[in-house]
Amino acid sequence: MSDSYFTRIYAHRGGGTLAPENTVQALQLAHQMGFQGVEFDVMLTADDEPVLMHDAEFGRTVFGTGQMNETRWEDLQRKNAGAWFKDPRYAGARVPHLDHALSYCSARSMHMNVEIKPAPGRDARTGEVAAGLCARYFAQAAAGVPLLSSFSREALQAAAQAAPHLPRAQLWRELPQDWAAQLAALGCVAAHVRHDHLDEARCAAIKAAGYGLMAYTVNEPRRARELLAWGVDAICTDRLDLIGPRFR
C-alpha cells in the first residue's frame, strides 16, 4: 500500500482548537494557515443529507436540544454552530453540507480525511451516503480523492460497496491483536490509531505490512516528532499553532 493517500499534518475537525469544529470557517482557517490536510466528521440528518458534525446530540457545538437523526437538513441550517466558540468572528457559523466541504477543499488541493461518524443505528446508511457523494464528486478525478475512515466496520463495508475505488482506513482507539486481518477484510489502505496506543514496534509492524498509518490526536510537538521518527505517515492535531503545516 502507498502512503500517497496522506499529507503529513492534518487539522483535526477542520480548525483544531482555533475555530469552531466541522465548519467551513474552520476549513478556511486551516487553508489560511497553510495546512494541506484537514480531517472532518460526517453524519446524516433525518432526511439523509450528509453534513459535518461530530456529536449525535445537540448542545455542545450546536445550540439547542435534539438529535441529528431526528433533524431535517432544512431545520439544521437554522441552527448556530459557531456561537459556542466565544469568538464574535464565528458567531454566525452554520453546519455545512458535505458537498460544500468537498468543493472548498478540492478547489484548494487540500487532502481530506472524511471520517464517517454514524448516529446510533445509522452505520450502513451513513457509510453508503457519504461514500456515494464523494464518489460522484470525484468521478473524474485522477488524484486527490478523499480518504474515508471510520470506527464503524459496518459503515466502512457500506462505503466499500458504494465507492470501491475510494481509499478507506479503519479507526481504532487501541490497536487490536488481529489488526492486519481486519484491515485486509475491509480492503483498507491504512490504520488510524490513537497516538498513546502506538509504540515503535506497532508502528514498524503496520508499515512493514504495507499499510499507511495516521496517529491522532497529537497535540505535543515532542510526541509528534517521536511518532514521525517511528514511521507514522500522518499526524492529526488540534494544536494548529504548535504543530503547523511545515512541522518537522
Residue of 31, 54, 100, 192 with catalytic role: 54
CA distances from 242 to 32, 192, 246 (A): 15, 21, 11
Characterize 129-165 residue by residue with b for buried, 16 or more Cβ atoms within 10 angstroms of its Cβ, and e for exposed: bbbbbbbebbeeeeeebbbbbbbbebbbbbbbebbee
Local structure of 221: helix, strand or coil: helix
247 and 9 in contact (C-beta within 8 Å)? yes
Q: What region does 103 belong to: left with phi over 0, alpha with psi -120 to 50, or beta?
A: alpha
| Residue 12 appears among annotated catalytic residues | yes
Residues constituting the chain: 248
| Residue 31 appears among annotated catalytic residues | no
Give the single-character DSSP code of 110: -
Residues 6+ apart with CB under 8 A from 96: 22, 23, 24, 51, 52
Local structure of 239: helix, strand or coil: coil
Return the C-alpha cell found at 53. Answer: 458534525
Residues 6+ apart with CB under 8 A from 234: 6, 7, 8, 9, 10, 37, 212, 213, 214, 215
33 and 53 in contact (C-beta within 8 Å)? no
Local structure of 105: helix, strand or coil: helix
The residues annotated with a catalytic role in the active site are: 12, 54
